[in-house]
Structure 1
Amino acid sequence: MLRELHLDLVDMSSVSLRSLMNFSSSLTTLSLFNCELQGTLPVDIFRLPNLLTLSLTSNIELKGFSPLVNLTSPLRFLDLSYTNVSGELPKSIDNLKCLRKLGLRQCNFNGPIPVSLGNLTQLTDLDLSENHFSGPLPNSIDNLKFLKHLGLSQCNFNGSVPASFGNLTQITELDLSSNNFVGSIPESFGNLTKVTYCHLSSNNFIGHIPSSLSNLKDLTFLDLGGNNFEGTLPDFMTKLTKLTNLDLNSNHLIGQIGEFQHAKSLEILLLYNNRLNGSIPKSISNLVKLQKLDISSNNLSGTIEFDMFSKLNEIDFLDLSYNSLSLSINNNLKRTLEFLDTLDLSNNRIKGQVPKWMFKVLGSLKSLNLSHNSLTSIEQIPVKNLENLDLHANFLQGTFPVPPSSVVFFSISNNNLSGEIPCSICNLTSLQILDISFNNLTGMIPQCLGYLSDFLSVIDLRTNRFHGTIPEMFAKCKSLRTLVFNHNQLEGSLPQSLVNCRKLEVLDFGNNKINDSFPYWLEALPKLQVLVLRCNRFYGQIENFKAISSFAMLRIIDLSQNNFMGHLTSNFFEGLKAIKTVNEKIPLKYIREDYYQDSIMVVWKGQELKLERILTIFTTIDLSCNKFHGQIPKVLGTLQFLRELNLSHNSLSGYIPSSLGNLLVLESLDLSSNMLNGSIPMQLTRLTFLAVLNLSQNKLIGPIPQGLQFNTFQNNSYIGNKGLCGFPLSKKCMIVEPPPSEEDNDLKFTSGFGWRAVMMGYGCGFVYGIAIGYLVSKSRKHQ
């Protein structure tokens, strides 16, 4: 005789779903919210004759298909949200004549919405959000006269919104966000006078914002962001007295912001990424409940008057960045912005000294961004609770300003600071990211940097004038991910205490005067992805690897312009697993995606290039300008996801391995200025992404391969190889038998030669001499 069963939040992961078929026909309510149900839902549960309420929401391992229901089903409440139920909504769904609430949020439904959905005329709540539907919304949806809550976000719907939507006059909450709707918002939306929540963001709506929305007097939340609306900001929006959240970001709105005199309930106002101009209206000070204001990325001009913001007693987020605003030097503020947590004034036209009054009125500030302005000096930073401070890309001069000890993120890069880093920097015990690159700082690197914090993640000191040895400061670096000392005057050897930095991903000591052998012990760092040691005084062989999977995560290797010598050992390349295999299911991402973006200088396709951000799919090996000799290892051909290989300006000899033809994503190959001989392997023609090829200044012979990318390379790819012939060189050749290659080290002699060529227009004496010379050397070898 059981009628109601509520087992919400009970762990039923070990319960067989077959037991759900044993319920009494008297059951009217079954609620199994978040019970960790697993397996396939039996369809018989929908055939219980008296079942009115069925809630199986938040059982993500629960599978099944669209329910088949009886014609006489009395079901009123059905919620399968956050399950793995899939398939198309059946046309027979209109058999649920009594249904009042249908929740299918974040399931795996697909296909079009059946027209029969419009026959569920008793519905008051409908949520189909976050599924994989397709096609337009059926016009029959306007039959749902009693609908109060409609959620259709992230459903892949397209087409226009039916004008008959205006018939749903009982709606209070409407969410059509993150679809592919096109066209304009119907004027009939003005009939939805009871709506309080309207979310239409991230679609492709065009045209002007309809004036009929002024009828929505009860509206508290309106989000039209991420569309293509144009025209000026409608005046009526500043008069919706109940509106608390207004979001119009990322449209094409123009004109001035307008006067906010009546919208005194506004708590969040987001107008960023439009084309608004003029000054910040003083009427903003009337929005006494405002907590978040973002008007960044517009064309605003004039002076920032902090006095108007001082009247906003509750504001905690203010973003005015990416405009053309200046800052008043004198601001006689009567009170402080005591709740302001985040202030972003970056990318404006703020000049001169950072005003002293700013830190007086911003006493509770935690995040301040003044980057990309024209500031010239800053005396002190007295804010006690500051956590994020960004002053980079200004013209700051003078000595190094030490932030308060509470700072977590500190960037003052790309300025003109001079002098030494003061010892007081050792007080920054909360520091995680330190970027003081691109200044004129001198002196020794403070020993304490490696002991500042257990959370220190980034140290970027590149492009200064630091000298001396690199201190042994890495005993306490368990969180360090990025270490960049590039382009200084550092000497001595690399500190072996770096092996303690087990999370290190980027290590860049390029362009210094470091005098050391190859740091093979870095193979102990399991997450190292970028290793740059270029332009130093490293010497000796690359060897002594202990593990088979040495440098398994390494993607970017630049050892160029050093004094490395010896053979290129296969062991080094065999461990580079990250360049051998790529998980194609992993989406594209950058090595770091937070406040600090990793960047490096690389020689890419023959040109020096700064990578402002480093994609994890970017791979390169640059061993150029060293003293390596011997043959190019065939194992390089296993690095199938290598995009650039530069072995130029060494003393490499022997044949070009045909295995390089397996590097199918290779975009640049530079083997120039070596002593390579033999022919160019035909297998290289398989490299369809190859944009740069440089084989110049070697001893290669024979015809240049033709077809695909090889038809695009010019003479400078082959200059200095006197034995090469064929396009694009003016020296033509006709090969009867192939010239020597890696696969044919021992030529079989036919009629005296192993291969014959006729030079057209230049005579054949040179080629004859090569053939005879090879014959003589071959005879001596056999003797």
Structure 2
Amino acid sequence: MGNLSIGMVSKLLVLLLFHLVVANFVDSLQQLSCHAKETLALLQFNESFIIDKSASRSKVAYPKVSSWKPAAGGNSSCCSWDGVECDEMTGHVIGLNLSSSYLYGSFDSNSSLFSLVHLQRLSLSDNNFNYSQIPSSIRNFPSLTHLDLSASFFSGQVPSEVSHLSKLTYLNLCCNMLENETSPDNPQRLLKLQPSDMRSLVQNLTSLETLRLSYINISSIIPVSLTNLSFLTSLSLTQCDLSGEFPVKIFSLQNLEVLRVRYNQDLTGYLPEFNQSSPLVSLKVGFTSFFGTIPSSIEKLNSLQELDVAQCNFSNSLVPSALGNLRQLTYLDISKSRFGGPIPDSFANLTQLTVFRVSTSSLTGPIPSWLGNFSTLVHLDFAYNQLIGSIPASFSNLINLEILYLQGNNLSGVVEFQMFQKQQNLYQLQLSSNNFEFVTGSNIMNATVQQFTVLGLRSCNLKEFPYFLQNQTNLERLDLADNKISGEVPNWMWNLSKETLIFLDISANFFSGELPAVIPWVKLQCLRLSFNSFHGRLPIPPPSLLEYGVTNNKFTGEISPSLCNMSSLLYLDLSKNNLSGTLPQCLGNFSDDLVLLLLGSNSFHGMMLQPFNNRSSLRMIDVSHNQLQGQLPRSLANCVMLEYLVLSNNQFSDVFPIWLGTLPELKLLAMRHNRFKGVIEQLLTSPSYAFLICLTTIFSESVRFHLCFQILL
């Protein structure tokens, strides 16, 4: 019996040794199978870029190429490198996945990458290729089935050579764009695709299963030949400037699961009658010109999880109750629609929703209490409707809520901040412009308060400054306007979210006192202090500011030349204060970007601002009710976009400015109570436009002529 045990142990040892030998043999084969030329090509490709952590945005990004190093003695298997895949039989590199790898640098057709002619899968997404064009050498990959160049800062024309890659089943060129901070829904698109190349691409790549071209400027109709792509499972054409009628037969593609054509305002079409065989999982046609009705047969889409029909031209007069039968929905956006009436009770079935948006519609009635059963809800947006009643107490059950927008309704009742204490993930809260009696309570000052990025409490009947704000470090937008808060702004406010705040509106309250000499928020873009009783010197905002509004306060003193550091300013309103001194001439240099310049009703003296250059963006200038004198700067004629020029109640002394008649957009010219002289007939026969002239001019010491009339030519 003992001998048998020894024999069995011996056999096991032999078997184990055999497996180790085979494994080492296979591994050595793999080491030997890597072609030296391909190893060199990859190393050269790596050397053409630098590692920059700002080049990738993914939270799981890391530098995959850091493992790309030749082994000692010069022998190395590139097949073992991170992101590299080799054919087990030939050893050729057939796959390269360098997505989210922190790569930064330029990319051209001479790149060593294009010597990897056996490549079948290539992913370079989420890097920064510094506005390089997609190289035409992409044609060197005739075996390519998977190409992902998304979100990597490629620019220019998409080369026609892409349509020659006839074996492609996956093509993703999406999201090569620059985000627009002032208009997040309108990014700057970096890639263009000629309509003819779009047609060729669809006609030649007949094996496509995934086609993602979102945020590429295509400016074309959708080729009907798309309906021939029988293998297509995913089609994404968001914000491509598509026009014409959407081919309805695309809805009949047997394998189509994802269809996204959002933000193509000139794209028309309609939703067909659906049947239960449709595999649609995501349907997003929001912000297009789709029309007709949302058919009740939409409830047959048993696989549908995402539905976006926001801001379309659907004519349903009420919120379609059939949507409540789509129990598997996780995303629903029917905002900015013509739908009205109460939220249907059938929507109580949608307990899987994570995003629920019905803003800017005509919803009426109360917020249903059954919303408290939506335990997975992350984003709820009912803003700008006609909802009444109070916020249901059941909202405290929404513990996963991150975004809550209820502003612009007729909601009422007492709102205590404690009701949001369970939503520790809540970071955007908008309750502005309702009829709430909002109570913050100083007793929550020491409680654990979630960190907000957006907090809107405009018109919430606040009577004191919300003290819980002093613990906020991540705020980006804070709106406390149009409340009843009095007294001075607390000192701790100026230490609030110093590195993150970009928008602050505390206008239309009863604030008083002086403000800091320098506003401390380094990224601030909008500062609204108007309609209060602030006094003292005008505070100096950071250079990042785009809008500065302080009208109707009691600020005194001169404008500091430091104000001229705000080189990107769009709106400047210093009107109706007690400011004095001369106008810093550097303000005239803002005219490249400045749209509104409002300095009226102060005590400024001296000369008018000058010069204004021929790139001026100014639409409105108001320097009325000051003590400005002298001649008008002739450089005002460069302000070709100017619509309103208000010069009234000053001491200008000049001939009548006939040359202003060359401004093509001028609608209002107010000049009364000055010392202009001369004739105006030439102005009356100037180029065709309509504007209003208001003036009081002097023809002699004893005769004053008051004139205010409209010219229609």
Which bin holds the TM-score, normalised by the shorter protein?
A: 0.5 to 0.7
Give the alignment of 1:442-591 within 5 angstroms.
442=463, 445-446=464-465, 448=467, 451-477=470-496, 478=498, 479-491=500-512, 493-496=513-516, 499-514=519-534, 516-519=535-538, 522-523=539-540, 525-539=542-556, 541-542=557-558, 545=560, 555-565=570-580, 567-568=581-582, 572-574=584-586, 576=587, 579=590
Which structure shows the higher helix fraction?
A: 2
Measure, in 2, the Cα distance between the counterparts of 1:480 and 1:131. Answer: 27
1:5 aligned to which of 39, 43, 46: 39
Query: Once superposed, what is the RMSD of the aligned Cα atoms?
Result: 5.2
Q: Per-residue CA shift, 1:549-573, capped at 9, x if unaligned?
A: 56555554433333444x415xx33
> Relative to structure 1, is the Cα distance of residues 14 and 339 closer, same or farther in structure 2, using a 3 angstrom cutoff?
closer
1:317 aligned to which of 355, 360, 368: 355
Deviation of 1:219 after TM superposition, in Å, equals: 3.3
Deviation of 1:338 after TM superposition, in Å, equals: 1.9
Measure, in 2, the Cα distance between the counterparts of 1:368 and 1:501. Answer: 26
User: SS in structure 1 opposite 2:356?
Assistant: strand
User: SS in structure 1 opposite 2:332?
Assistant: strand
Stretches of structure 1 that go unaligned for 5 or more consecutive residues are 16-26, 36-49, 133-152, 388-404, 583-616, 731-783
Q: How many residues align?
A: 602
> Relative to structure 1, is the Cα distance of residues 98 and 548 closer, same or farther in structure 2, using a 3 angstrom cutoff?
closer
Partner of 2:374: 337
Contact 1:353/1:377 (8 A) holds in 2: yes
Contact 1:620/1:642 (8 A) holds in 2: no
Q: Is 2:597 the partner of 1:620? A: yes
Measure, in 1, the Cα distance between the counterparts of 2:175 and 2:368. Answer: 55
Identity, in percent, stands at 19
Q: Per-residue CA shift, 1:334-382, capped at 9, x if unaligned?
A: x9322121222334443333333x4265343332333333333355566
Partner of 2:330: 291
Q: Per-residue CA shift, 1:723-745, capped at 9, x if unaligned?
A: 59xxx999xxxxxxxxxxxxxxx
Partner of 1:243: 280
What amino acid does structure 1 have at the position aligned with 2:195?
A: N
What amino acid does structure 2 have at the position aligned with 1:651?
A: Q
Partner of 2:410: 374
1:679 aligned to which of 641, 645, 655: 655
Contact 1:423/1:446 (8 A) holds in 2: no
What amino acid does structure 2 have at the position aligned with 1:718?
A: L
Give the alignment of 1:561-710 within 5 angstroms.
561-565=576-580, 567-568=581-582, 572-574=584-586, 576=587, 579=590, 617-622=594-599, 624-629=600-605, 631-632=606-607, 635=610, 637=612, 641=616, 643=618, 644-658=620-634, 660-661=636-637, 665-680=641-656, 687-704=663-680, 706=682
Measure, in 1, the Cα distance between the counterparts of 2:395 and 2:172. Answer: 49
Q: Per-residue CA shift, 1:507-562, capped at 9, x if unaligned?
A: 43333344x3433xx337444444433333344x416x586956555554433333
Measure, in 2, the Cα distance between the counterparts of 1:722 and 1:511. Answer: 39
What TM-score, normalized to structure 2? Answer: 0.67
What amino acid does structure 2 have at the position aligned with 1:568?
A: T
Contact 1:211/1:234 (8 A) holds in 2: no
Measure, in 1, the Cα distance between the counterparts of 2:554 and 2:201. Answer: 75
User: SS in structure 2 opposite 1:235?
Assistant: coil
Q: Per-residue CA shift, 1:137-195, capped at 9, x if unaligned?
A: xxxxxxxxxxxxxxxx9652326987996897654334566534426735x83x64443
Measure, in 2, the Cα distance between the counterparts of 1:62 and 1:549. Answer: 36
Whose radius of gyration is greater, 1 or 2? 1
Contact 2:340/2:364 (8 A) holds in 1: yes
Give the alignment of 1:326-475 within 5 angstroms.
326=364, 336-356=373-393, 358-359=394-395, 362-378=398-414, 384=420, 408-417=427-436, 422-424=441-443, 426=445, 428=449, 430-438=451-459, 440-442=461-463, 445-446=464-465, 448=467, 451-475=470-494
User: SS in structure 2 opposite 1:5?
Assistant: helix
Contact 1:673/1:697 (8 A) holds in 2: yes
Contact 2:357/2:382 (8 A) holds in 1: yes
Measure, in 2, the Cα distance between the counterparts of 1:156 and 1:660. Answer: 41
User: SS in structure 2 opposite 1:266?
Assistant: coil
> Relative to structure 1, is the Cα distance of residues 578 and 619 closer, same or farther in structure 2, using a 3 angstrom cutoff?
farther
What TM-score, normalized to structure 1? Answer: 0.62
Measure, in 2, the Cα distance between the counterparts of 1:200 and 1:552. Answer: 37
Partner of 1:599: none
2:310 aligned to which of 248, 272, 283: 272
Measure, in 1, the Cα distance between the counterparts of 2:201 and 2:634. Answer: 67
> Relative to structure 1, is the Cα distance of residues 661 and 85 closer, same or farther in structure 2, using a 3 angstrom cutoff?
closer
Measure, in 2, the Cα distance between the counterparts of 1:353 and 1:193. Answer: 51
Contact 1:363/1:383 (8 A) holds in 2: no
> Relative to structure 1, is the Cα distance of residues 670 and 270 closer, same or farther in structure 2, using a 3 angstrom cutoff?
closer
Contact 1:305/1:328 (8 A) holds in 2: no
Contact 2:83/2:98 (8 A) holds in 1: yes
Partner of 1:19: none
Deviation of 1:327 after TM superposition, in Å, equals: 5.2
Contact 1:324/1:348 (8 A) holds in 2: yes
1:252 aligned to which of 279, 290, 311: 290
> Relative to structure 1, is the Cα distance of residues 157 and 416 closer, same or farther in structure 2, using a 3 angstrom cutoff?
same
User: SS in structure 2 opposite 1:474?
Assistant: helix
> Relative to structure 1, is the Cα distance of residues 303 and 719 closer, same or farther in structure 2, using a 3 angstrom cutoff?
closer
What amino acid does structure 1 have at the position aligned with 2:590?
A: I
Measure, in 2, the Cα distance between the counterparts of 1:200 and 1:527. Answer: 34
What amino acid does structure 1 have at the position aligned with 2:221?
A: V
Contact 1:533/1:560 (8 A) holds in 2: yes
Measure, in 1, the Cα distance between the counterparts of 2:158 and 2:453. Answer: 48
> Relative to structure 1, is the Cα distance of residues 705 and 195 closer, same or farther in structure 2, using a 3 angstrom cutoff?
same
Measure, in 2, the Cα distance between the counterparts of 1:469 and 1:504. Answer: 21
Measure, in 2, the Cα distance between the counterparts of 1:489 and 1:5. Answer: 71
Q: Per-residue CA shift, 1:674-726, capped at 9, x if unaligned?
A: 233242467656655544322222223334594699666878443232259xx
Contact 1:30/1:55 (8 A) holds in 2: no
What amino acid does structure 2 have at the position aligned with 1:573?
A: Q
Measure, in 2, the Cα distance between the counterparts of 1:703 and 1:103. Answer: 70
Measure, in 2, the Cα distance between the counterparts of 1:513 and 1:98. Answer: 71
Deviation of 1:620 after TM superposition, in Å, equals: 0.7
Q: Per-residue CA shift, 1:115-139, capped at 9, x if unaligned?
A: 9x66x77x3557484699xxxxxxx
Measure, in 2, the Cα distance between the counterparts of 1:174 and 1:503. Answer: 38
What amino acid does structure 1 have at the position aligned with 2:553?
A: N
Measure, in 1, the Cα distance between the counterparts of 2:366 and 2:434. Answer: 22
> Relative to structure 1, is the Cα distance of residues 289 and 156 closer, same or farther in structure 2, using a 3 angstrom cutoff?
same
Deviation of 1:67 after TM superposition, in Å, equals: 9.8
Contact 1:160/1:181 (8 A) holds in 2: no
Measure, in 2, the Cα distance between the counterparts of 1:215 and 1:638. Answer: 57
Measure, in 1, the Cα distance between the counterparts of 2:658 and 2:471. Answer: 56
Measure, in 2, the Cα distance between the counterparts of 1:104 and 1:256. Answer: 34
Deviation of 1:12 after TM superposition, in Å, equals: 1.6
Q: Is 2:252 the partner of 1:234? A: no
Contact 1:256/1:278 (8 A) holds in 2: no
Contact 1:129/1:155 (8 A) holds in 2: no
Contact 2:413/2:435 (8 A) holds in 1: no
